[in-house]
Structure 1
Amino acid sequence: MSGFRHIAMFAWAEGTTTGQQQEVAAKLSELPAVIPEVGALSLGTDAGVNPGNYDFVVVGDFASRDDYIAYRDHPAHRAVVDGYITPILARRAAIQYEM
């Protein structure tokens, strides 16, 4: 397999509502239709099996590093990050790698 993968994990701030979390997921799920460079976008909420986990994950697959960068910098993605994620974010971890 070839391509480029981006994984971002989020821990929500105390007091974040279920509605806010669902809104983040809904807004992120709209991005593949808006940003053609997105090959696949998978979203998930932690299953609650282990304590201390992050709350939410985004896994994005792209054909190339350049396609990931186009997604990262796209105004629609930036609007989701700035308007929906950042206001409720306690911490974030991310990694990108060649597949």
Structure 2
Amino acid sequence: MIRNVVTGRLKPDADTTLLDEGLAGILALGIPGMTDVKVGRDAGLRPGNWDFTIVADFADVAAYRAYDEDEEHNRLRREIFGPLSAEIARIQIEF
């Protein structure tokens, strides 16, 4: 199993309505082999936290690669997450 964890910091003037659209778009992808996906905005429990996260599980490396190369996923990156974010960090963990 591959777990992909993405977290982002928004630019100060970022449109959070657009962020919510992007997060909903991730949930709607329906990539074969994506076994679970959770998205959300920071709950604000500690100062300095990042603003949003995406946590997605994949059956295997091939399923992760399909997600990473998916046209709609890359549109969301290019048109929503990239322009809204000051920083994005990601990691893939194999279990």
TM range (shorter): over 0.9
Would you say 1:82 and 2:78 are equivalent positions? Answer: yes
Name the CA distance, whole Å, in 1 between partners of 2:3 and 2:73. 16
- Greater Cα shift, 23-32 or 71-80: 23-32
Would you say 1:19 and 2:17 are equivalent positions? Answer: yes
1:22 corresponds to which letter in structure 2? D
Match of 2:69 among 69, 73, 82: 73
Offset, 1:37: 2.7
Deviations 1:19-77 (A, max 9, x none): 12211112112112xx2232111101111011111100000100001210110011111
TM (norm. structure 1) is: 0.89
What is the root-mean-square deviation in Å for CA atoms of aligned residues?
A: 1.0
Offset, 1:7: 0.2
Query: Any runs of at least 4 consecutive aligned residues in structure 1 with deviations exceeding 3 A, and if so which?
Result: none
Aligned residues: 95
1:53 corresponding residue in structure 2: 49
**Percent sequence identity over aligned pairs:** 32
Name the CA distance, whole Å, in 2 between partners of 1:83 and 1:17. 12
Match of 2:40 among 39, 44, 65: 44
Gaps of 5+ in 1: none
Where 1:97 maps in the other structure, the secondary structure is strand
